[in-house]
Chain A
């Protein structure tokens, strides 16, 4: 199940674990990324918490945790090569895997067509 947030994160949900990243639209808007800071494995966040930071040449932006949960895995590849987020934002450029506290909360997020409508 693929879900999206209004803050331009995507979630690929398998069981109670969501793989989280930023959308193609967000990656295009940010431009070339030069730095990514990921949360620690084991860190817990509430929905909307600052889970990661991305920096382009010009500016820093926060990546929010899309649902309540605990980080169970992070993608070190984007830390060593932030350009992966630009080249494959919804694939190899994933950020972290989140064990959802309440998997049912995902139903309230946007589906792909609703997100596409949001970003026009």
Chain B
């Protein structure tokens, strides 16, 4: 059986192959894990110049209120996220979470206010479930549409603005989390100043038919290199950003995950629109009193990478297991191994020494503030 034939292709599939990508199955798609340069060079290039990522596997969803009033869509969406959507200004985007009744996380996503509708970007592996979830909770008042005919690319790094400005000069005055419509190479695109690397940069939603043209134009620039999912993972890990399915899932709450900043005051206890989202009875008390465990940065003391799934012990013999590593690898810019995981509240303070199980040994790691590499967002 040829497994690859069952995988979906993004609109940039042919371009990826022509760029020498090594393709792997990911969330039902055949995706580039790395290009010819390799993970290390791709990672460092993104931090020093600009990297272009094909992230077209991610879900793009539009929500339109049938009343024609976008505030009605915002109110409806607030029933499934613990986030201030109503207060999100037109042309702005914000990070959000779909929560479940236990206070766990069904997915993390971006919400943009596009004026006459809300535009969501969700994780590839969750997009069908998210879509069904939105339809069932918002379907009475809103039209929920999967924008399956659009590609999504990210241009990230300190040269991203200069490169993109050559196609569209107006982006220079965008701030972090601004969202705008624009014509790139005569294609109707939606650009947000955001990303998943810790660098300044942009995510660009493009009609599928124009995606290869726009991507090729950007790749023609000498500062731009194509970047695969391998470097995307090491970049986001150094930036301290969660990977859904690893660092957050249906068994972790936003407070355990250290994502309190995503829950604005109006949705918290005493706020104007307090609660009203799934799991509020778990999450609101945790916001006030903390959770029993917390996501922490972990810096291995030696050179050996500590990977996802490694047990975390309080002692070097590994007798008292207190948590586990949820993401880990080597940070090319940090120039050493980096990891994240969950530790009990008492062991979550920076400087706490823990021990991670690697090939039968327990290696010392220190709890470390995130991110490992400072972000460079244009706020």
Q: A residues bordering B, Cβ < 8 Å? A: 31-32, 34-35, 37, 53, 55-60
Contact = CB atoms under 8 A, between A and B. Distances in A.
Interface residues of B, number: 20
Contact of A58 (B230, B303, B337): B230
B57 to A, nearest CB: 18
B330 A34 contact: yes
Give the most central of B38, B41, B233, B234: most A CB within 10 Å. Answer: B38
Contacts of A60: 305, 307
B43 A57 contact: yes
Contacts of A34: 40, 303, 305, 330, 337
Interface in B172-188: none
A36 B264 CA distance: 46
Chain A contact residues: helix, strand, loop or mixed:
strand
A58 B359 contact: no
Given A55-B330, A57-B332, A58-B329, A31 B303 contact: no
Interface of B: 33-34, 38-41, 43, 230-231, 233-234, 303-305, 307, 329-330, 332, 337, 359
B234 A57 contact: yes
A35 to B, nearest CB: 5
A10 B132 CA distance: 53
A32 B234 CA distance: 13
A57 B307 CA distance: 10
B31 to A, nearest CB: 14
Contacts of A35: 303-305, 330, 337
A57 B40 contact: yes
A32 B39 contact: yes
A58 B233 contact: yes
A42 B332 CA distance: 34
A45 B22 CA distance: 34
A55 B328 CA distance: 12
